[in-house]
A and B are shown apart, each in its own frame.
Chain A
Amino acid sequence: DTGVSQNPRHKITKRGQNVTFRCDPISEHNRLYWYRQTLGQGPEFLTYFQNEAQLEKSRLLSDRFSAERPKGSFSTLEIQRTEQGDSAMYLCASSHWDTNTEAFFGQGTRLTVV
Chain B
Amino acid sequence: KQEVTQIPAALSVPEGENLVLNCSFTDSAIYNLQWFRQDPGKGLTSLLLIQSSQREQTSGRLNASLDKSSGRSTLYIAASQPGDSATYLCAVRITQGGSEKLVFGKGTKLTVNP
Where the two chains meet, the residues of A that have a C-beta atom closer than 8 Å to any C-beta of B are 4, 6, 31, 33, 35, 40-45, 48, 55-56, 89, 91, 93, 99-108, 110
The CA-CA distance from A112 to B3 in the complex, in Å, is 28
With both beta carbons as reference points, the residue of chain A lying nearest to B9 in the complex is identified as: A40
* Known contacts A42-B104, A42-B105, A45-B101; is-contact A108 B42 (Cβ 8 Å): yes
Return A10 CB to nearest CB of chain B, in Å: 9
Most chain-B CB neighbours within 10 Å: which of A33, A102, A104? A102
With both beta carbons as reference points, the residue of chain B lying nearest to A57 in the complex is identified as: B99
Which residues of B are found within 8 Å of A40, using beta-carbon distances?
106
B99 to A56, Cβ gap below 8 A?
Answer: yes
B44 to A105, Cβ gap below 8 A?
Answer: yes
* Known contacts A99-B31, A102-B34; is-contact A33 B4 (Cβ 8 Å): no
Q: Is the interface of A mostly helix, strand, loop or mixed?
A: strand
Q: Is the interface of B mostly helix, strand, loop or mixed?
A: strand
Which residues of B are found within 8 Å of A43, using beta-carbon distances?
44, 89, 91, 102, 104
Where the two chains meet, the residues of B that have a C-beta atom closer than 8 Å to any C-beta of A are 4, 6, 31-32, 34, 36, 41-46, 49, 51, 89, 91, 93, 95-96, 98-107
A99 to B101, Cβ gap below 8 A?
Answer: no
The 6 closest A-B pairs by CB, nearest first: A42-B104, A56-B99, A105-B44, A107-B43, A55-B99, A42-B106
The CA-CA distance from A99 to B52 in the complex, in Å, is 11
A42 to B89, Cβ gap below 8 A?
Answer: yes
Kindly identify which residue among B32, B89, B101 contacts A48, using a CB–CB cutoff of 8 Å: B101
Which residues of A are found within 8 Å of B6, using beta-carbon distances?
42
Return B43 CB to nearest CB of chain A, in Å: 4
